[in-house]
């Protein structure tokens, strides 16, 4: 291989490495972006667990948690956190929804595997999450 070919291959490799690095950085930034509402709920506390943030409760109890926020057609703002939990000795996917109003938020709903759960079950779950908080 001629020296000019080696130089061209090296330059091409540097370009590929730069492109892959840039893509990785872009994906990491996209994954780190959280709405103001998500940050508000994660950093906030619930009345039934004043010693821990909601994020600490989630991290200590849910597997693979994911957060999202949105707005209904009527303008209500919500934050959802979903993750894997065990309920009655069976693995389920739980979704907890919070309503956000200004600088305040409150629990709204709990679903397990897409099925709405009664508030009594939600309160019990939140208490267990509080006890498991990191």
pLDDT per residue as tens digits for the range 21-66: 444 444 444 445 899 999 999 999 999 999 999 999 999 999 999 9
Query: In 3D, which of 87, 83, 86 has the Cα closest to residue 95?
Result: 83
Q: What is the pLDDT of residues 95-133, one digit of tens each?
A: 999 999 999 999 999 999 999 999 999 999 999 999 999
pTM for the complete prediction?
A: 0.75
Confidence of residue 17 (pLDDT cuts 50, 70, 90): very low
Contact 81, 96 (CB under 8 A): yes
User: Across-strand partners of 105?
Assistant: 100
């Amino acid at each position: 291989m001629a020296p000019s070919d080696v130089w061209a291959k090296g330059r091409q490799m540097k370009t590929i490495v730069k492109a892959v690095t840039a893509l990785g950085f872009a994906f990491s930034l996209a994954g780190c972006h959280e709405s103001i509402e998500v940050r508000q709920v994660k950093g906030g506390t619930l009345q039934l667990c004043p010693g821990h943030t909601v994020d600490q409760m989630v991290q200590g109890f849910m597997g693979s948690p994911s957060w999202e926020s949105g707005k209904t057609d009527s303008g209500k703002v919500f934050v959802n956190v979903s993750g894997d939990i065990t309920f009655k000795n069976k693995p389920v996917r739980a979704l907890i929804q919070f309503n956000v109003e200004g600088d305040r938020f409150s629990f709204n709903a709990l679903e397990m595997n897409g099925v709405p759960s009664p508030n009594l079950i939600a309160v019990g779950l939140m208490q267990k999450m509080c006890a498991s908080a990191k």
